[in-house]
Structure 1
């Protein structure tokens, strides 16, 4: 089935998220209480709500998206290229810009979105943040009433599970065992919050996010038993 997919119909993506505020103290009292309630099972007795707040970026209710990177294949005869681009800046605007891309270029039934752990993280996170900002969901993210086989999403983690729903494999591990150049050659997800708030280096985060997007495409190529992308075939636009 994977071999039947037209690679030019797939939009690969990755997102980077951080806590919505730099520090716990910036939350109002109600949100502090809600954060404490939300995380009490994860924190147990090891962390206070304040100490645990640096991890708030993984929850759409307490975090925000700072970058969405996308990538797509283009073929001219035997020549293939993989182009990447990123949306960043103020969250509402980057979500609007991403929605415009979907509705302009990836809105037909043949188009698919692809991410690693996208069904559990990227796709619902984007949808939730759009709702928070009162942005109408684009067709590709509006799953209400859709049957499982109608959902236009590919997930490389899901593909790697082969039906084993208890199994989780990180992008870093999967690229390593499949012989794919690691996208984690500078920072990893645990460092994004500090790079954003402490170092104010969004360009470094964009570069990291785009490398993850390329890695997702590489995994799909490997699952299709096709040749990996070479450096000269990847262009950031």
Structure 2
């Protein structure tokens, strides 16, 4: 089935998120109480709500998206080209720009979105943040009333599970076992908050996010038993 998909109809994507505010003290008293309740199960008695706040970016209700990187194949005959680009800046603006891309270039029934763990994280996170900002959901993210086989999403984690719902494999591990160059050359997800708030280095995060997008495309190529991309076939635009 994977081999029958037109790979040029797939938009690969990855997002990077951070806590909505740099410090716990910046939250209103009401939001502090809500965070304390929301995080209680995960932190148990090992951390206070304030100590655990550096992980708030995981939840759309307490975090925000700082960039969305996308990639797509633009092939000419036998010549492959994988193009990447990133939406960044003020969150509402980058979300609107991403929505515009979906509605102008990836709006046909055959178009699919692809991410690693996207069904559990990227896709719902983007949708929730759009609604928080009052942005109407684009068709590709509006799942209300859709049957499972009508959802236009691919997830490389789900593909690798082969129906095993207990199994989780990180993108870093999956690229390793499939013989794909690791995207985690500089930083990993646990470092994004500090790179953003303390180092103020968004460019570094964007480069990391785009490498993940390339890695996701490489995983799909490997699952389709096709040759991997080489550096000459990848273009950042």
Structure 2 length normalisation: TM-score?
1.00
Cα distance in 2 for partners of 1:224, 1:85 equals: 24
Cα distance in 2 for partners of 1:75, 1:209 equals: 23
Q: Where do 1:164-175 residues align within 5 Å?
A: 164-175=164-175
Aligned to 1:131: 131
Q: Which runs of 5+ in 1 are unaligned?
A: none
Cα distance in 1 for partners of 2:201, 2:101 equals: 25
Measure how far apart 1:118 and its partner are. 0.1
Measure how far apart 1:183 and its partner are. 0.3
Counterpart check, 1:108 vs 2:111: no
Alpha-carbon displacement from aligned partner over 1:138-162 (angstroms, at most 9, x marks no partner): 0000000000000000000000000
Aligned to 1:223: 223
Q: Which runs of 5+ in 2 are unaligned?
A: none
Cα distance in 1 for partners of 2:78, 2:8 equals: 14
Aligned to 1:34: 34
Counterpart check, 1:98 vs 2:98: yes
Measure how far apart 1:77 and its partner are. 1.1
Q: Where do 1:46-57 residues align within 5 Å?
A: 46-57=46-57
Q: Alpha carbon RMSD of aligned pairs, Å?
A: 0.3
Measure how far apart 1:74 and its partner are. 1.0
After superposing on structure 2, the runs of 4+ consecutive aligned residues of structure 1 that deviate more than 3 Å are none
Give the aligned length.
237
Structure 1 length normalisation: TM-score?
1.00
Cα distance in 2 for partners of 1:44, 1:172 equals: 28
Cα distance in 2 for partners of 1:72, 1:82 equals: 6
